[in-house]
Structure 1
């Protein structure tokens, strides 16, 4: 199952070549270090450059936030490390750290340490509480050390990537590597740790255009990802989502599924080569650095998949871990609106798939988890597996034993008591399905409702829904879209009657099955456009006339004129057509009614408005030949005027 991650661009900042990016842990800030020697801090919310530091005249290849000290730390090609307070902009400290370009900086999450690596093939540990003393040097690489990253599950170990084609894993306190991972055919540029507790994995990207995933306990390569057309410059395991991000000099960022290793998406923002990727724990934001600037994207939603049964028991997923709480335990405590609920959270165990959706069935006995192209039905109490299978989407019927799955974009299967009952292919495909009293199927042509038992088409509606909600008794259904919602009344009797008699059944289903509440909607809506539309549908000329008068829109007057003619309100129709300046419509109305005064007025008005064809026809219908000739002469249609005079007004030929 594709992860269906919505990817939204949150910030786009044009600049000189970006060599590193970092995200602040609490402020909406992005740090970008540039090849021109500057460092920028951008505010994601205001989209503004809020701070700028001129570091040196050479490239700044590394920059990191140290939020607990209000610092940024930079490493540049002049071999210096510089520390700035980002609030006061003052330089706190500066020292020469290496004998060649500084490539990367890693900040220890708890201790007062930073690690730096350089083209001098060394990694150094610095302690800021000891006046930035170098407390350890790690030797072992035989070429430039391009990146170092600290293990999030064991802060005493870290990994390094080098152009000597290896990834080495080190331990603080030991100057020699614990072990070396070999497998890339060219220099390794980037490395990252998987932060989840279930897999001891490392990822690396190299100039051989390959991404390799390593098991650092068994010291083996478990997967190789191919697809980039140029050198890999950045790799990352996302700390919140089951995805891998890889950036390359081919200008693309590729998003891979961390469990199946399938390519999910390819991003190309046209900013030339990708140099760096930064993720942040607790956030779905990702920062990307390019030749021509930097971008922040947001992947998916940050709120977890969750469900609540009729008794107030909530189940949600935190990554693949399932947790629960019960609102009923609060009892009769008075809770203020917006107040955080004091709920006891209980771990239920882990799920075999990454949950994209969780749903209780109507009686609350079972809960289904859907994700990674599969569904698993568990018991709600103990999370015991009851059924599973392939599915893009899963929905429950109002009958607790019946459910449907969307297996592909063309196939829907209905099951009862965990046994498959029906399989059908909707006429226009299935892009999404919705549960409830009827089975809803979204397709390119709109929404179709089907009967759960027979899969008969009940009604097709031209609308693209986002959610569908049914009332408990199944009489009312709310269809919500991106912008609005609609409430319809479902008539089960009309469906049963049509099923027996076959009357009123069209290719779009049964006309009488759903009714709207247009008059109620007209009474409550505040949107003039919607109100006018409803007034037309209800045939309410008075309300529609008032709204058209307020809007002064030609289109509205034309629509109202059409309705007035249908209702034989010719006086109103005449006014509407006049307001809409619809001279053709007025001519048709006047000649049909045989109203000579109206035809004459129309001819005069049309002539003033340069609607010469209508003016000519009006005069001609009245037999006013002199006026017809004047219209032709005034519009310089002299050949036609000559013919007209020869035929109808011989006395005027001399003109």
Structure 2
């Protein structure tokens, strides 16, 4: 089995005795022999947090993600729990009278199971105050490991140095049965995750790994290769492999079907002690004497292929399953929800599939993996052809294909027989990493992609780019070359290539430069992609589903998890995607809309108008946004069905009649903003009557004030003053009355709005006859506020007309000074003199004046 093995995290530290992955966050927990617990980001490799847990070795750690905790057992007999977000210690207590060597967390219940050197296992319930609800006795040596059965979480197995493995039920202190597993102490036990085999794997100090059938209690296989004590072995949850690690410093990968040793890894970190795996990915982590390593085994992307009719074929290990998406045509499942499809077993394959691909006509399916390829018939799943090959590519006619043997030998086949002749020009001189089929045969290597003509074997063009994939459109004129952080859309000009060949020019290894033209360069990382006509549909590294028309990208949807593009079925107007477990999801994407956008970009407005009636009504607004982006606002206004968008377009185009119609049809109070916008545009084009109507509808009194002032409309100002006063917009009302010269009305408005001091001062300047009324209102307001002294001190011209002759300010000041001197002799009241109160009132009066 050929698996890509990529090291994601390499961290040196003190001896690592336990590791665990967080189920949702990119975190890796490591318990160290020095008593610390480290929290790493396994994607970035950064050490996020360090917890000083104990002064003795921490031998076991596990996340309890549903509580934001991790739990740790150590050599000071203590079981501790910490909140990994706040660093708060949740609990710490003595769980055993000896070293705590292993623990595990129940997948659903509030239980932690611990195993100790005291030869007992205990179950602790954190919802009951960490009470010990059960003790399991029967082992006669140190308990090394505990594993829950994934098919029955009420049972678990324990590995012990007494050479046995025992299986327990949570509610019983006595073992269900015992396996005499190894000739020496047993270090590890783990269950098989699949539902088809009742298997478990064990490791021991006898340097072996054993696979057991726990129903028949018999040993199925013994794996021998390690040269020292074997610390652990696990069944990988998604790949058909067993991973084991030993004190000999190596990690070995075994095929779980054939039990053949596939690979041996050595990271020079001394003895391997512990392992963890991610259930939702292919990652595993291993702890050593000198640090830890997190590695990715194989690709995250599932192996699948869907033909143009919707027939899906995908692999689950070496089993081949199929489903027909044509059945989803009448499925009314909303976008983004999982489709319910009937899945059937199609057969199996002799190799572990790294890629699966249909032939262009859908009659054949090629499985490539383990350095071999096998071509099967799509319906009966019969072996049609096979051979050695690390990569495979179909031509456009389904009768021709290419196979890469090794790194440089490319063979061409026609009708399942190898083609004779000179072969591909220059193929032997390049180191090739992969082949890509389509209109031309593409091969990618380090820093280049080269395209050959299928028939002649001549080099069409060599493109210098570090590519990871190549996608040809169905028309054969467009090709997407995908790099790590960007992709390029090229247009193939066969006529230019043919003309160069006919002219007898020596094209060499670089090909014909004019054969390809760069159409677009997009800075996005493509994960999976398909062509729909001349539209490039793809998922990117940000978990978005996008499509490209011309040189513009458009978003269809955003996902929470990575999704992989299966293909597009025009009859459904839907694009289909799958997650890692090949659960299928559909999203609406109208082919007619894409064709319309393409016609617009070509400048073919007549063809676009013919296509438009076929665009679904629910997609018209997206088309209108596209047209607006092309600065075709008039056409966007015709296409759009969204009133708000149509209104915005009409305003931009100064189409006031259309904007007015939309504003009149908009219910209050939503219409006020629209009326205001129309009014502003009406002013800009000197349509004052329309602007006045709009501002009145929008209740924009400030704008009406400016408009009436600019046009000298006294009647309008009078009406505005009444309307503003009724609506409580007193500033506008006052300004209107002041511009009309109605000082008496201004005084009345100030008095009415409880601004009597301003009314008095205003009246003295502009309407002397109104001063007594304003002053009386002022006095009444002060008396209501218990400011009697100030109210008495205010002079009313109706009462003291002499004070309002020349020099009345000095007279008033002297009178106030006299009153202050009289008040100074009065006794204090409640801790403050009346003199102080009088001074305070006098200051307030002065301020008011």
> In the alignment, which of 251, 274, 277 is matched to residue 276 of structure 1?
274
Pairwise CA distance, 1:418: 5.1
> In the alignment, which of 457, 472, 491 is matched to residue 494 of structure 2?
491
In the alignment, what sits opposite 1:433? Answer: 435
Aligned residues: 513
Pairwise CA distance, 1:259: 3.5
Per-residue deviation, residues 549-588 of structure 1 (Å, max 9, x unmatched):
xxxxxxxxxxxxxxxxxxxxxxxxxxxxxxxxxxxxxxxx
Pairwise CA distance, 1:196: 1.9
CA distance in 1, matches of 2:478, 2:88: 64
In the alignment, what sits opposite 1:466? Answer: 468
In the alignment, what sits opposite 1:584? Answer: none
Larger Rg: 2
CA distance in 2, matches of 1:140, 1:334: 54
Per-residue deviation, residues 144-185 of structure 1 (Å, max 9, x unmatched):
221121121222333322223343444443613524143x44
CA distance in 1, matches of 2:409, 2:44: 45
In the alignment, what sits opposite 1:385? Answer: 382
In the alignment, what sits opposite 1:303? Answer: 301
In the alignment, what sits opposite 1:4? Answer: 4
Do 1:433 and 1:441's aligned partners in 2 also have CA atoms closer than 8 Å?
Answer: yes
- Alignment pair present for 1:213 and 2:211: yes
In the alignment, what sits opposite 2:343? Answer: 347
Pairwise CA distance, 1:445: 9.7
Give the TM-score normalised by the residue count of structure 1: 0.67
CA distance in 2, matches of 1:157, 1:259: 25
Structure 1 pair 49–366 and aligned structure 2 pair: CA distance change class (3 A): same
Structure 1 counterpart SS, 2:442: strand
Pairwise CA distance, 1:116: 1.8
Per-residue deviation, residues 6-64 of structure 1 (Å, max 9, x unmatched):
x141x444443221111122223222222222323334467555544433322111111
> Where in structure 2 are the equivalents of 1:343-492 lying within 5 Å?
343-349=339-345, 351-352=348-349, 353-378=351-376, 380=378, 384-387=381-384, 389-390=386-387, 391-409=389-407, 412-416=410-414, 426-428=427-429, 431-442=433-444, 448-452=450-454, 465-482=467-484, 485=488, 487=490, 489=492, 491=494
In the alignment, what sits opposite 2:800? Answer: none
CA distance in 2, matches of 1:99, 1:268: 37
Do 2:3 and 2:297's aligned partners in 1 also have CA atoms closer than 8 Å?
Answer: no
> Where in structure 2 are the equivalents of 1:311-322 lying within 5 Å?
311=309, 314-317=312-315, 319=317, 320=319, 322=321
CA distance in 2, matches of 1:53, 1:515: 61
CA distance in 2, matches of 1:53, 1:321: 46
Do 1:3 and 1:264's aligned partners in 2 also have CA atoms closer than 8 Å?
Answer: no
Structure 1 pair 188–491 and aligned structure 2 pair: CA distance change class (3 A): same
Do 1:115 and 1:126's aligned partners in 2 also have CA atoms closer than 8 Å?
Answer: yes
CA distance in 2, matches of 1:512, 1:46: 43
Do 1:495 and 1:513's aligned partners in 2 also have CA atoms closer than 8 Å?
Answer: no
Structure 1 pair 480–43 and aligned structure 2 pair: CA distance change class (3 A): closer
CA distance in 1, matches of 2:260, 2:493: 43
Do 2:189 and 2:201's aligned partners in 1 also have CA atoms closer than 8 Å?
Answer: yes
CA distance in 1, matches of 2:338, 2:62: 37
CA distance in 1, matches of 2:79, 2:433: 54
Structure 1 pair 280–468 and aligned structure 2 pair: CA distance change class (3 A): closer
Q: Which has the higher helix share?
A: 2
Pairwise CA distance, 1:363: 2.3
CA distance in 2, matches of 1:342, 1:217: 35
Do 2:364 and 2:375's aligned partners in 1 also have CA atoms closer than 8 Å?
Answer: yes
Do 2:104 and 2:113's aligned partners in 1 also have CA atoms closer than 8 Å?
Answer: yes
User: C-alpha root-mean-square deviation of aligned residues, in Å?
Assistant: 4.0
Do 1:75 and 1:82's aligned partners in 2 also have CA atoms closer than 8 Å?
Answer: yes
Structure 1 pair 485–131 and aligned structure 2 pair: CA distance change class (3 A): same
Do 1:474 and 1:490's aligned partners in 2 also have CA atoms closer than 8 Å?
Answer: no
Structure 1 pair 456–211 and aligned structure 2 pair: CA distance change class (3 A): farther
CA distance in 2, matches of 1:31, 1:314: 39
Pairwise CA distance, 1:399: 0.8
Do 2:157 and 2:165's aligned partners in 1 also have CA atoms closer than 8 Å?
Answer: yes
Structure 1 pair 37–477 and aligned structure 2 pair: CA distance change class (3 A): closer
Which piece of structure 1 moves more, 423-432 or 246-255?
Answer: 423-432
Do 1:83 and 1:91's aligned partners in 2 also have CA atoms closer than 8 Å?
Answer: yes
> In the alignment, which of 26, 39, 53 is matched to residue 55 of structure 1?
53
Pairwise CA distance, 1:474: 3.3
In the alignment, what sits opposite 2:641? Answer: none
Pairwise CA distance, 1:202: 2.2
CA distance in 1, matches of 2:396, 2:68: 55
Do 1:348 and 1:383's aligned partners in 2 also have CA atoms closer than 8 Å?
Answer: no
In the alignment, what sits opposite 1:623? Answer: none
CA distance in 2, matches of 1:303, 1:104: 34
CA distance in 2, matches of 1:20, 1:334: 45
CA distance in 2, matches of 1:181, 1:416: 58
- Alignment pair present for 1:236 and 2:234: yes
In the alignment, what sits opposite 2:325? Answer: 326
CA distance in 2, matches of 1:437, 1:136: 68
Per-residue deviation, residues 275-300 of structure 1 (Å, max 9, x unmatched):
21111211233233233333433334
CA distance in 1, matches of 2:385, 2:179: 41
In the alignment, what sits opposite 1:285? Answer: 283
CA distance in 2, matches of 1:431, 1:50: 37
> Where in structure 2 are the equivalents of 1:231-270 lying within 5 Å?
231-270=229-268
Pairwise CA distance, 1:3: 2.0
Structure 1 counterpart SS, 2:66: helix
Do 1:161 and 1:168's aligned partners in 2 also have CA atoms closer than 8 Å?
Answer: yes
Structure 2 counterpart SS, 1:155: strand
Structure 2 counterpart SS, 1:68: helix
CA distance in 1, matches of 2:258, 2:459: 37
Gapped regions of structure 2 (runs ≥ 5): 524-849
In the alignment, what sits opposite 2:179? Answer: 180
CA distance in 2, matches of 1:371, 1:76: 45
> Where in structure 2 are the equivalents of 1:187-198 lying within 5 Å?
187-198=185-196
Gapped regions of structure 1 (runs ≥ 5): 527-655
Per-residue deviation, residues 187-224 of structure 1 (Å, max 9, x unmatched):
33222222122333322333343333334344444444
Structure 1 pair 341–360 and aligned structure 2 pair: CA distance change class (3 A): farther
